[in-house]
Structure 1
Amino acid sequence: MSVQFRNNVHCHGDGPATIMFVHGYGCDQQMWRFIYPSFLGRYRVVLMDLTGSGGSDLGAYDREKYSTLHGHAEDVLDVIGLYAKAPVVFVGHSVAAMIGMLASIMAPEKFVAQIMVGPSPSFINDGDYVGGFNAEDIDGLLQMMEIDYDSWIKRMAPVIMGAPRQPVLQQELLTRFQKNDPEISRHFARVTFTADHRADVEKSTVPALILQCSDDMIAPREVGDWLHQHLPHSELAVITNIGHCPHLSSPSASSDIINDYLLQIQA
């Protein structure tokens, strides 16, 4: 099986360095359509779908391999090995930010920077750590997903997208969720929402930009602050945006922040 087919890899542009965009839970590479064109002049742009999502090979979804985010991190390194020029700038949304961080720990020489859009090392509150959800909240969401997947996605899509003045984006996210394989989505949801990678954060030495939204029910501001305090060589930028998907609901501001950071670190 080819890596290209497994992860539905698409490349654009022919810049001297590579920037790679990876989507969050339940989404696909089309979520970056407002962002990546502005980087074509400077970079080779690599887009991929996580295995089990979007246009990837659903038959390649191995529940054992993808029982942790490390399986997806291995896939990212496969794609980099075949399609990247020089160390890459990795842009990951939500769970993909953690996948990219894990990949950077496995092979730091392959990364020049990581851009984390709405990242969360753990969604579950724990003592002084604010992840956004109590353990029983996550259990309830996952149980609802098992019982009534359709109701779950109809409830969660507007929460994840936010963007109350852009209902078309809420509908787009719902439509993408509806296209996913329910069994894979349930499995990936459990892996995503119960993962705890706080202990891994300090192992990542690749420079990082944490792009946090001002009003995000999925990854609240406290998560960005915690990451900034514990992630070496990190910077925190807060964008005025309601929701968890600023690359869709506030793409110009997101692009500007990312571009300014890359110019600053000369990546």
Structure 2
Amino acid sequence: MAGSSNCDAVDMAAGGVGGAKLLQLLNVRVEGSGEQVVVLSHGFGTDQSSWNGILPFFVRDYRLVLYDLVCAGSVNPDRFDFRRYATLDSYVDDLLAVLDALHVDRCFFVGHSVSAMIGILAAIRRPDLFLKLILIGASPRFLNDGDYHGGFERAQTEEVFLAMESDYEAWVQGFAPMAVGVDVPAAVQEYSRTLLNMRPDISVFVCRTVFNSDLRGVLGLVRTPCVVVQTAKDAAVPLSVASYFKHHLGGNTTVEHLPVEGHLPHLSAPAVLGQVLRRALASPR
């Protein structure tokens, strides 16, 4: 890892927290050895522990940067600024500030779900920083819109928000198995744990932010090579979304179809996903 710290990016991140404090706030850690850096960024309802099953595949050959999104239950909820994190842009600020604080000047980025979109926005802003984006369970728009099939109608999402607000624990008990999408009790238990670790009002707010996001219009600005990883059946992301990425991302894009089900293959099928990630990282394009 080399390069100089970008103080402006660090100052913007997490409400103006400096570099060292930001790394502490977001529980940043670096694992493994090797010259090439791989950033692992988790999705909604999880934290960096969701990558634990993936780490053994990479710690020998890569330097892995892990951190928690500021909304994760593992981060002090008092540091979550509802005004600041009303869009994905401030999450992008955090990511870039973490990399600058660690003096990372080139890296691979692996992002799950909403973090995949955070990675896309970061690569548009700082294209020279990213060698490749690997996007797992990604979607530029979760809502249906005309000919675009994102998977959800707005009325459905409002029902989700209402259920979360009325009885968060009951909602988690129903949502976690549906999201995992396969009978892997350990994965359901782990996803339930990290969802319940989130403060309910933050969880609802972030969920609204994700569902209200629409990044379709910026996909053509991406110049970084991308690998879209799509499971055979994902309750949150229809198969058609992977095809949409293939045709609308501006960089060279390939699609990897995993022969497993569910939205969280790093929890439910880490060995299968690990093989795909290793192949994606080793490929020159």
Separation in 1 of the partners of 2:215 and 2:160?
20
Partner of 1:170: 188
Match of 2:48 in 1: 29
- Alignment counterpart, residue 69 of structure 1, candidates 58, 82, 88: 88
Q: Which residue of 1 aligns with 2:114?
A: 95
Q: Which moved more, 1:151-160 or 1:96-105?
A: 151-160
Secondary structure, in 3 states, of the residue corresponding to 1:156? helix
**Pair 1:184-2:202 in alignment:** yes
Task: Give the Å deviation of 1:85.
Answer: 3.6
Measure the CA separation in 1 of the matches of 2:35 and 2:80: 33
- Mapped partners of 1:251, 1:175: distance in 2: 18
Q: Does 1:125 align with 2:144?
A: yes
**Paired letter, 2:257:** V
Matches within 5 A, 1:136-175: 136-164=155-183, 166-175=184-193
State the SS of the aligned residue for 2:283: helix
Rounded to whole Å, the distance in 2 between the matches of 1:66 and 1:176 is 20
Pick closer, same or farther for the CA change 1:114–1:84 going to 2, 3 Å: farther
For the residue of structure 1 that corresponds to 2:246, the secondary structure is helix
Name the aligned partner's letter for residue 149 of structure 1: Y
RMSD (Å), alpha carbons: 1.3
Structure 1 runs of 4+ aligned residues shifted over 3 Å read none
Partner of 1:193: 211
Identity percentage over the alignment? 33
SS of the aligned residue for 2:37 comes to strand
Q: 2: CA distance between counterparts of 1:158 and 1:223?
A: 22
Which residue number corresponds to residue 11 of structure 2?
Answer: none
Q: Distance in 1 between matches of 2:35 and 2:151?
A: 40
**1:249 Cα offset (Å):** 1.3
Q: Distance between the aligned counterparts of 1:186 and 1:238, measured in 2?
A: 30
CA distance in 1, matches of 2:76, 2:223: 32
Q: 1: distance between equivalents of 2:103 and 2:246?
A: 27
The question of 1:224 aligning with 2:242 is answered yes
**Equivalent runs, 1:47-86 vs 2, <5 Å:** 47-83=66-102, 85-86=104-105
Could you say if the C-alpha distance between residues 86 and 42 of structure 1 is closer, same or farther in structure 2, counting changes exceeding 3 Å? farther
Please list the CA deviations of residues 93-133 of structure 1 after superposition, one character each: whole Å capped at 9, or x if unmatched.
00110011111111111111111011011110111111111
Match of 1:245 in 2: 264
Question: Given the superposition, is the C-alpha separation of residues 54 and 46 from structure 1 closer, same or farther in structure 2, using an over 3 Å criterion?
Answer: farther
Per-residue deviation at 1:84? 5.0
Answer with 1-10 or 205-214: which moved more: 1-10
| Separation in 2, partners of 1:37, 1:221 | 29
Deviation for aligned residue 1:235: 0.5
Unaligned ranges ≥5, structure 2: 1-16
**Paired residues, what number?**
265
What is the deviation of 1:21? 0.3
What TM-score do the two structures reach when normalised by structure 1? 0.95
Q: Structure 1 residues 239-248 or 37-46, which shifts more?
A: 37-46
Secondary structure in 2 aligned to 1:202?
helix
Partner residue of 1:104 out of 116, 123, 128: 123
Give the structure-2-normalised TM-score: 0.89
Alpha-carbon distance between aligned partners in 2 of 1:8 and 1:72, rounded to the nearest angstrom: 15
Deviation at 1:6, TM superposition (A): 1.9
